[in-house]
Amino acid sequence: MKLKLCLLRYLFLATRGRVHNLNRIGGQKSFDKVNDSGYPENYGVVINSKRIQLFEKAGFSINKKKNSSIGLRGNFVYHEIHSKFGLRKYDPIQKSGYFTALFNSDIIDKNQKISTGLSIYYDNLKESVIDTVLFKEEVVSGGFMEYTYNDKKKWSVIAGLRADYNNNHGFFIIPRFHCKYSPFENSAFRISGGRGLRSPNIISEHISLLASSRELVISEQLDLEDAWNFGFSYTQNFFFKDDKKITVNVDFYRTDFKNKVIVDLDQSTHDAFFYNLKGKSFSNSFQIDLILNPFKAFDITFAYRLNDAKTTIDEKLLSNPLVAKHKALLALHYSTRYEKWNFSFTTQYIGVKRLPSTKNNPVEYRLPEYSNDYLILHAQITRKLKNMEFFIGVENMTNYKQENPIIGFDDPFGDYFDTSIIYAPILGRQFNFGFRLIIQ
């Protein structure tokens, strides 16, 4: 009895929580939340979000010699939203939670560890969308086991396997593998692979479509999203005298989707179709990073990413919409002695993106097939004192903005109104300044 009370007291003390109540209003300047609550003359968006979250994390040591322990993790969320997008109402209520019990221990020697456990996840989602009610109740229960080998020198290997039963979709085996090898001094070569499954909530994940004239069409029963991911990365550090350093990192990862929920905005400008993948969908991501320290307190970071992501949409293999194939970054940072002054300058390059088709719209409501590429510049200066920091900066220094980001803004209740095709910043140059007070 005494042990049970101690355990309950420990779990209570390990429990934390968060609560928020958020209200947002947007739309036309002439929109009035009260007077336009019926059939409005002015377009507006009203969102009230209430969320309660409780989470718990506790651990108990069993055998110190073997580093054996039991861990308990839990989470509960209640989330309620009441929202209105013009004439469209969206009122979801979600109750979800998970609990995991796991066991960790060394095996054979200190270089080898095992982790195993059980978990259960529950999700109850009720969505009132316009004049339709969608309901989903999902329970996922299963177990997992993971083996880790680390010789503290060159090799580190993690191999894991979990088995889950989903009350709506059946039984699944999910493997994963990670390996790190250091062939040279100050180097690391990593390879990884595994499977991922996800149950999509299509309305909340694409809520921006409600702020459009599109009808949401769910063509069939939607399955779990199922993907295999694998890839590698290599990191090498070069050290020189006077604290000079060069870091080079190269990585490549590929994701192959066996199933994916397609959001088809290309067939029609009046509809958004949701259906399971019929064909191929993949993403190849290549990135190279170069970090230079030419002299003390001055850092130069360069990064480039190539993202080749394509999906079969309406029986055609197309580039994923609103995804830039090329991205690059150049960042400069300099600090004076004792970091009293800090100077930062960042340049971001965003390549062209394929835009959802609007070719059947009237000319004044059409977009090009691809967006323009563009540069974004940011800068900031920080002055540090003993217990305070003052900063001043500017974002989007070149004042680059997407022209007319809202299609059909002049007729928000018309057939071509769409706020969801955003491919560039909609806010121009912004200055910021302030201070931070450090209390010790």
Given the DSSP bridges, would you call strands 245-259 and 44-63 parallel, antiparallel or unpaired?
unpaired
* Out of 63-72, 320-329, 330-339, least confident range: 63-72
pLDDT of residue 65: 82
Amino acid at 97: G
Distance separating alpha carbons of residues 138 and 405, to the nearest angstrom: 37
DSSP string, 114-135: EEEEEEEEEEEEEEEETTEEEE
Whether 6 has a pLDDT exceeding 70, the answer reads: no
pLDDT of residue 371: 95
What element of type H or E holds 10?
helix 2-13
Whether 412 has a pLDDT exceeding 80, the answer reads: yes
Six token digits for residue 225: 């999203």
Six token digits for residue 221: 């029963």
Per-residue pLDDT band at 130 (split at 50, 70, 90): confident
**Sign of the four-CA dihedral 50, 203, 279, 282:** negative
Distance separating alpha carbons of residues 347 and 349, to the nearest angstrom: 7
> Between these two residues, 290 and 186, which has the higher pLDDT value?
290
Range 2-437 has CATH code 2.30.40.10: no
Percent of the chain with pLDDT over 70: 95
* Out of 11-15, 20-24, 389-393, least confident range: 11-15
Q: pTM to 2 decimals?
A: 0.87
Q: Find, among 98, 92, 100, the residue nearest to 51 by Cα.
A: 92
Whether 2 has a pLDDT exceeding 50, the answer reads: no
What are the C-alpha distances in Å from 45 to residues 24, 26, 330, 412? 8, 5, 38, 12
246-274 confidence digits (pLDDT tens):
999 999 999 999 999 999 999 988 899 99
Distance separating alpha carbons of residues 213 and 419, to the nearest angstrom: 9
Nearest 5°: CA angle at 241, between 240 and 246? Answer: 30
**Average confidence (pLDDT) over 8-25:** 74
Nearest 5°: CA angle at 229, between 228 and 233? Answer: 165
Longest dimension (CA), the chain: 77
Whether 14 has a pLDDT exceeding 90, the answer reads: no
DSSP string, 329-378: EEEEEEE-GGGSEEEEEEEEEE--BB----TTS-GGG---SBPPPEEEEE
**Average confidence (pLDDT) over 379-392:** 91
Given the DSSP bridges, would you call strands 215-218 and 225-239 parallel, antiparallel or unpaired?
unpaired
221-241 confidence digits (pLDDT tens):
999 999 999 999 999 998 887
Whether 42 has a pLDDT exceeding 90, the answer reads: no
Domain boundaries defined on the chain: 2-437
Length of the chain, please? 440
Distance separating alpha carbons of residues 380 and 341, to the nearest angstrom: 11
93-121 confidence digits (pLDDT tens):
999 999 999 999 988 888 899 999 999 99
200-223 confidence digits (pLDDT tens):
999 999 999 999 999 999 888 999
Phi first, then psi: give them for residue 131, nearest 5 degrees.
-115, 20
347-379 confidence digits (pLDDT tens):
999 999 999 999 989 999 999 999 999 999 999
Per-residue pLDDT band at 29 (split at 50, 70, 90): confident
